[in-house]
Amino acid sequence: MSADAVQTAGEEETVAAGEAFAGTLSPGAVVLLYGQLGAGKTAFVRGLARGLGAAGDGVSSPTFTIIHEYAGSTVTLYHVDLYRLDPPEVDDLGLEELVGGEGIVAIEWADRWRGRPDDAIEVRIEDRGEDRREIAIRRAT
């Protein structure tokens, strides 16, 4: 896997990092998001939505509905949050069907999904204090 890292200072910079990253994605991409509660995963996905031409301001954590769908200008973003689910419950969601489609799938708390594809992109967001974040992106090579 190859890795890139970016430093952000504040939520808008984290959103901007996601927006810039969206331009590197193709239909069918799977983005696995890792980070502690409040690290900025949803802000990053808000940027992904903006970068794909969807209304990023409407992006919120899908914790209670599990999956939100945002229509972009050329592709649909599926935002999945596995925070409240145990791995057996995740297995029953049918994520494999989403992954096999033409959309882009962004999954928060991806460590709870045992069926992650080998070519998924990993985004790890670390809180560095004082609204600073380190965003490390790893792509399969």
Residue 1: inside a domain: no
Specify if 22 maps to a domain. Answer: yes
Q: What is the pLDDT of residue 38?
A: 86
Q: Give the single-character DSSP code of 44.
A: H
Domain that holds residue 50: 17-128
pLDDT tens sequence for the chain (141 residues): 456 889 999 999 999 999 999 999 999 999 999 999 889 999 999 999 999 998 766 676 655 678 888 888 889 999 999 988 888 888 888 888 888 788 999 999 999 988 888 899 999 999 998 889 999 999 876
Is 3 inside any structural domain?
A: no
Count of structural domains within the chain: 1
Crossing angle (nearest 10°) for helices 11-22 and 41-51: 40
What's the pLDDT tens digit per position in 36-64?
988 999 999 999 999 999 876 667 665 56
Structure tokens at 121: 């992109």
Look up the CATH number of the domain holding residue 55: 3.40.50.300
Give a yes or no: residue 2 inside a domain.
Answer: no
- Euclidean distance between CA atoms 111 and 119, whole angstroms: 15
Kindly provide the b/e burial profile for residues 82-119, where b requires at least 16 CB atoms within 10 angstroms of the residue's own CB: beebeeeebeebebeebbeeebbbbbbbbebbeeebee
Residue 45 resides in a domain: yes
CB-based burial label for 40 (10 Å; 0-12, 13-18, 19+): buried
Residues 93 and 120 sit within 8 Å (Cβ to Cβ): no
CB 7 within 8 A of CB 133: yes
Predicted TM-score (pTM) of the model is 0.89
